[in-house]
Amino acid sequence: MHGARRPDPTSEAGADIQTDIAGRPRHFVLVNGIGDNVVAFRGALVRELVARGNRVTVSTPRPLERPAAAVAAEVEALGAACVFSPLDRTGLNPLRERATRRYFDELFASLRPDGVFAANPKAVFHAIPAARRAGVQRRVAMITGLGYAFIQHGWRARLLRVAATALYRRAMRDATSVFFQNNDDHAEFAHRGLLPPELEVRMSAGSGVDLEAFAENPQPAPAQPPVFLMVARLLGDKGVREFAAAANIVRARRPDCRFRLAGWIDANPAAIAQSELETWLHDGTLEFAGRLDDVRPELAACSVFVLPSYREGTPKSTLEALATGRPVITTDVPGCRGTVEHGVNGLLVPARDARALAEACLALAADPALRARMGAASRRIAERFDARAVNAAIAEALGAGDGSTPARATP
């Protein structure tokens, strides 16, 4: 295991470490499903748990786009240990799945954590049942969106939906708490009978946004030419094709408008083809910013943020746009609609409708004053998604204490 040095609880530096009744520091394992973005999504939670005097281990798949050593160093800089799992977020190889199950059984048996938090579907499927088998007292799942299996309607998606439903049923049976990021996903689980009566169900404002990190915009939103920005994994389900089609429609009437795309082609059945991206770039439809470690400069340089996704948990990219003070155009679908008050801080459009998306872009392109008013409203709405409140609720579900008094979970 690749771990960080731990404070000695008997030393002055380790005096604030929270301990259980056996005298050992309380220890929590955070299980993530995407190695490249573990710090972006869970870094604030790591800081919260460490600040409360707890030990933290982060288990994440090896990153695909970044050096593993760099990701481990970022995790360790937060005061946590980093271990890399064999979890394959989109794979279906039964041997690989069996190895992943064995990995989590061995990890939890070795670390004996007081609580486990898992986000992303595969992480929930594997880590929550393994935590129960290991006798971990607090087992907290977060449903970050239902993804490809619940969005698409082809035969492959239907088969995956049957399998995912069974895996969610087992994980919910083995969890002590579950967080949903929107009411629609909660209703879907309830409709499918996946929520045992003894399971504690909580709602969460997504994964939250670090308002302090977005407190100072590097520059005001550009008035002209209007710049439309989309930040996402390059999946059809994210509405990338609709974004490109809308760009063509808009630029035919307003050739001064710019459409920028940031992200990467994901290992997912819904991923766009590299050739599609290259065509859009070659013909000038889109500008491509690539994968970003820090989205703040791109957000600061845009006029309007756009996410035409088919379904989300609560999209972190949109929350960051709100915190930057940018108007948002997004789809009237689960997860997305909760980030926009139509006509107040942005516009809602139907999913899979490039023409409606283009008309919304044209409306905001024509009115800089409206964009400014909506951007100010976005920043106010961002306060509802403060990561500090989200992480405090997760810490409470884990039994992580308040930084001053040890807390023990009941079995």
State the total domains in the chain.
Answer: 2
Q: Which pLDDT score is estimated for 402?
A: 64
Query: Is the distance from CB of 280 to CB of 251 less than 8 angstroms?
Result: no
Q: Does residue 233 share a domain with residue 135?
A: no
Question: Distance between CA 337 and CA 312 in Å, rounded?
Answer: 9
pLDDT band at 19 (very low <50, low <70, confident <90, very high): low
pLDDT digits (tens, 9 = 90+) for 256-274: 999 999 998 876 777 889 9
Q: Which pLDDT score is estimated for 15?
A: 32
**Within a domain: 16:** no
**Within a domain: 300:** yes
Q: Does residue 187 share a domain with residue 152?
A: yes
Q: Which domain holds residue 255?
A: 227-385
Q: Does residue 366 share a domain with residue 297?
A: yes
Q: Which pLDDT score is estimated for 378?
A: 96
Q: Does residue 247 share a domain with residue 371?
A: yes
Q: Does residue 191 share a domain with residue 269?
A: no
> For the whole model, what pTM was predicted?
0.84
Least trusted range by pLDDT, from 159-163, 180-184, 305-309: 159-163
Kindly tell me if the per-residue pLDDT of 153 is higher than 90. Answer: no
Kindly tell me if the per-residue pLDDT of 9 is higher than 50. Answer: no
Q: Does residue 330 share a domain with residue 268?
A: yes
pLDDT band at 8 (very low <50, low <70, confident <90, very high): very low
**Within a domain: 256:** yes
Q: Which pLDDT score is estimated for 10?
A: 27
Closest CA to 287 of 272, 298, 300, 271: 298
- Helix, strand and coil content of the chain, in percent to the nearest 5, comes to 40, 15, 40
SS3 call for 274: helix
Q: Does residue 159 share a domain with residue 40?
A: yes
Give the H/E segment covering residue 346: strand 346-349
Length of the chain: 411
Question: Distance between CA 225 and CA 262 in Å, rounded?
Answer: 19
pLDDT digits (tens, 9 = 90+) for 276-310: 999 999 999 999 999 888 899 999 999 999 999 99
SS3 call for 231: strand
309 — phi, psi (to 5°)?
Answer: -70, 155
Q: Looking at per-residue confidence, does 96 or 157 come out higher?
A: 96
pLDDT digits (tens, 9 = 90+) for 385-407: 999 999 999 999 999 976 443 33
